[in-house]
């Protein structure tokens, strides 16, 4: 059984990150913080509750952004017991703070290690990139792509961006490593990354399956109704058998007692 309704990705918001074009200015890191009301500090190299996107300088020419990949079938959304995470119709994987109970299973489950926690808050929340869902509702691009001076981060629909990525690769086959990261990883993500160097050299999670991760837990969960009905019925049947046997032997004993007296 597939567990998610197939949402058409043609009209859904996505991001293309072109590592070849990125000049490492870190504008995206600061613009993101500003758009999300966080203190601006664009030096972040690791995601945190205060940096929803970060940048790793692999060398002087290669700069790689970190951010939520916005999976087509997100682990966090399947893990969350209260559906605080969900993949919205418009595309972004969003988080509803008021529902959250703070179990942090989303953090354990995410294959990219994206959700971060406010460890020192009395009323803590999970923090991660929301693909500027609010700006998107107003028809605006994400803050990170808006500020990007090099078109290294572009907002669009997933289909458009895949086409754009392929066009760039076709125009410069020597300039790109022939892999669009996120096209197939964990069943596909809405953030797509293309690179001038082999992706093994980038700080990206490798070796991910091409099937959606929630299928793994669903393989166990889908057996729940069976365990309840078959298990419950089997136990009741067993009870009936054991107690019936006892009744019969008790009756037999009574009978034989009668016989001897």
Partner 1 sequence: MARTDTLAQFPERRLLGLGARARGLGFYGWLFLAILAAGAVVLFRRFTGGLGAVTNLSDTWPWGLWVGFDILCGVGLAAGGFVITTVVYVFDLKKYKPIVRPTIVTAFLGYVLVVVALLFDLGRPWNIWHPLVMWNPRSVMFEVGWCVTLYTTVLALEFSGMVFERLGWNRALVAQQTATLPLVVVGAVLSTLHQSSLGSFYLIVPGKLHPLWYSAALPIIFWMSAVCAGLGMVIVESRLSSRAFGRKLELPLLGDVGRALAGALFVYSVLRVYDIVARGASSYLFDGSRESFFFGLEFALGALLPMLLLSRAPVRRSPNGLYASGLLVVMGFVVNRLNVSLTGFEAAQGRTYVPAMSELVVTLMLVAVGFFAFGQAVKWLPVYPEEEAGHGQKERPAPVLLAKAS
The contact set with partner 1 (CB under 8 A) reads 3, 47-49, 75, 77-84, 99-105, 107-109, 111, 113, 116-125, 205, 207-209, 213-214, 216-221, 224, 227-228, 231-232, 235-236, 238-239, 242-243, 245-246
CB of 137 to partner 1, least distance (A): 23
CB of 181 to partner 1, least distance (A): 15
Of 83, 109, 105, the residue nearest 96 (C-alpha):
83
CB of 231 to partner 1, least distance (A): 5
Give the C-alpha separation, 177 to 198, whole Å: 5
Give the C-alpha separation, 45 to 51, whole Å: 9
DSSP string, 34-88: HHTTPPP-TT--S-BTTBSSEEEESSSS-EEEE----BSS-HHHHH-TT--EEE-
List of residues 6+ apart from 7 with CB closer than 8 A: 72, 87, 89
Q: Which is nearer to partner 1, 171 or 220 (CB)?
A: 220
Q: Which is nearer to partner 1, 4 or 157 (CB)?
A: 4
Q: Which is nearer to partner 1, 118 or 159 (CB)?
A: 118
Q: What's phi and psi for 85, nearest 5 deg?
A: -95, 135
Q: Which residues pair with 192 in a beta bridge?
A: 16
Q: Which is nearer to partner 1, 14 or 80 (CB)?
A: 80
CB of 165 to partner 1, least distance (A): 25
Q: Which is nearer to partner 1, 76 or 165 (CB)?
A: 76
CB of 162 to partner 1, least distance (A): 24
Give the C-alpha separation, 191 to 241, whole Å: 59
**Residue 169 contacts residue 194 (beta carbons within 8 Å):** yes
């Amino acid at each position: 059984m597939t567990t998610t309704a197939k949402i058409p990705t043609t009209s859904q918001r996505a991001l293309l990150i072109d590592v070849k074009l990125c000049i490492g200015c870190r504008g995206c890191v600061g613009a993101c913080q500003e758009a999300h009301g966080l203190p601006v500090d664009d030096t972040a190299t690791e995601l945190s509750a205060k940096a929803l996107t970060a940048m790793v300088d692999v060398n002087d020419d290669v700069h790689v952004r970190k951010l939520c990949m916005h999976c087509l079938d997100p682990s966090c959304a399947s893990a969350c017991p209260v559906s605080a995470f969900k993949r919205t119709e418009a595309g972004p994987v969003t988080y509803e703070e008021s529902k959250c109970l703070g179990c942090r299973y989303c953090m354990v489950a995410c294959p990219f290690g994206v959700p971060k926690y406010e460890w020192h808050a009395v009323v803590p929340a999970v923090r991660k990139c929301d693909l500027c869902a609010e700006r998107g509702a107003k028809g605006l691009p994400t803050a990170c792509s808006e500020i990007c001076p090099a078109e290294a981060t572009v907002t669009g629909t997933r289909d458009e961006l895949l086409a754009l990525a392929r066009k760039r690769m076709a125009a410069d086959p020597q300039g790109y490593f022939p892999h669009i990261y996120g096209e197939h990883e964990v069943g596909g993500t809405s953030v797509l990354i293309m690179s001038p160097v082999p992706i093994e050299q980038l700080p990206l999670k490798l070796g991910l399956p091409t099937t959606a991760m929630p299928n793994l837990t669903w393989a166990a969960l889908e057996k729940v109704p069976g365990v309840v009905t078959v298990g419950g019925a089997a136990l009741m049947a067993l009870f009936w058998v054991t107690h019936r046997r006892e009744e019969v032997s008790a009756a037999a004993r009574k009978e034989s007692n009668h016989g001897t007296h």
